Amino acid sequence: MNYSNLNGTKAFKALAKLTPFDVKSKLTASRISHAAISAGGGLTYNYGAMPIDDSHIETFVELAQEQQLIEKYTALISGEIMNIGEQRLVLHHLTRGKLLGNHQLIYADGEEKGAFYHEQLARIEAFSAAVRNGKIKGSTGKNITKVVQIGIGGSDLGPRALYLALKGYCVELSTDILEARFISNVDPDDPTEILEDLDFESTLFIIVSKSGTTQETLTNQEFVIKAMNAKQIKGLVAAKHIVAVTSKTSPLASSSNVLDAFFIDDYIGGRYSSTSAVGGVVLSLAYGFDIFKRFLAGAHDADLHALQPDVLNNAAMMDALIGVYLRNVLHLPSTAVLPYSQALSRFPAHLQQLDMESNGKQVNRFGKPVDYGTGPVIFGEPGTNGQHSFYQLLHQGTDTIPLQFIGFIKSQRLNDVETDGSTSQKKLVANLIAQIVAFACGRDHENANKRFLGNRYSSLLWANRLEPETLGALLAHYENKVMFQGFLWNLNSFDQEGVQLGKVLANKVLAGGESDEALKAFIRMLS
């Protein structure tokens, strides 16, 4: 397998010599219609407003072949060790289905991993059905009506974003919904707010920690248990209201303080874990297993699309290659993700972790420094709110910031109001379209304050409506984009050593700072 640094490749050297396509003067209807690629799950990716033309795409093809993107993806899903820093497999794709047919068997930890993930899905289906139909009740005999997930990082961001993204669809579908809430921050104000109006007798808590030792999560678990015991409710047994999502070898797996445990393993990174039990338990309890199953199907469909060797038919690969061109040839260090859907209000926060934790690296997969930019800074907010916030800088600031718009033809809840000859949803879509063209084409004006330079580049991911399959495809598209960019940059996108030092020092602070004078100084100041 070819694991060479990006700037040492023949194709990248050729790419660096190409002039950006002039979007401002050449954004035509024909170009827009021919820049569409199916991304799976009813999702379409359009790169018409990006600064690339046929010569760029020809070089992308050469770069993808030179860096063996499809071969590396195939190696990953076949069970080769791709997380070489931790000597681990990378198996999050397998949580939503086999991509190489039923002969795809991957063994680790003394078990076949496809069967292991399938078994956990079956257990989640049975458990969520039993809770939702009242067979499993709270310890005092009440039906469970609310669930609270306690986790941090990938145990919170993805599941929280997906829960919010599916809520409107399930409301419109008249699905029986168990309200879900999330506790992540070790700041005591977080659990205090979430718990203050809860009926503990009808609430189920989900503790999510792969290791079973995550400091913030275990602290919040104890916070919840103490709050439950403080109520002194006759017959209330805290352990009967807590389930765990953890590894088989963690302390939580066999704890007497939990009702049940659902298992993940070391081959599912936290930021990639939403299609495992980490997302599956809470989403299946909240909306029913069928909704989660449809979500998995959309993700699997996008994974299959990402296996297409032709760049022009592989949306995730095209998105990744354009991103590398923006980052390493045009030297643009950030990207804004702009969903024109209120349901995706927390989706950019999940993508921040997915992208920046995966590819925010300064050494290659062999621990050698790279001398080119890697992962961009990711930020975003839903439209049209963002238009009245940071779009001023996006339009007229001194830096060009690439944009990724997400939009849907229909609203999720299908509840629309007509005013001034148009509906709310049509106005939302009109704003989305207007922004893409405004960023691309700009506007000349004799007054410099009213001048828009244009050539502010964007892509669009769109579908008819935000449904479970579409959401799954959207999630998998970004996961696969990040994966391909990691391959292009020759990074290990599946470890996160950059988050460890702060944890170590936090424990040192709790021990009094030991011999570290800087820590002691801050301890004195903040005590």
Helices (H), 306-442: 315-328, 347-359, 391-396, 424-441
Q: How far apart are the first and last CA of the chain?
A: 54
Q: Is the peptide bond before 384 cis (omega within 30 degrees of 0)?
A: yes
Q: For the chain, what is the radius of gyration of the CA atoms?
A: 24
Instruction: Count Cβ atoms within 10 A of the Cβ of residue 166 and give its class: 0-12 exposed, 13-18 middle, 19 or more buried.
Output: buried
Q: Which residue is catalytic, options 119, 231, 503, 514? A: 503
DSSP state for residue 95 in the 8-state scheme: G
Full strand arrangement of the beta sheet holding 377-379? 36-40, 43-46, 458-463, 403-408, 334-339, 377-379
Catalytic residue among 248, 368, 388, 450: 388
> Chain-centre distance of CA 51, in angstroms?
26
Residue 274 identity: S
Residue 520: active-site member: no
Q: Annotated catalytic residue: which of 201, 216, 357, 467?
A: 357
| Distance separating alpha carbons of residues 261 and 238, to the nearest angstrom | 15
CB 278 within 8 A of CB 245: yes
Asked whether the beta carbons of 425 and 411 are under 8 A apart, the reply is yes
**Beta strands at 107-108 and 111-112: parallel, antiparallel or unpaired:** antiparallel
- 17 sits in the region (left: phi over 0; alpha: psi -120 to 50; else beta) called alpha
Q: How far apart are CA 108 and CA 304, in angstroms?
A: 24
Q: Please confirm, yes or no, whether 357 is among the known catalytic residues.
A: yes
Helix (H) and strand (E) counts for the chain?
18, 15
Active site residues: 357, 388, 503
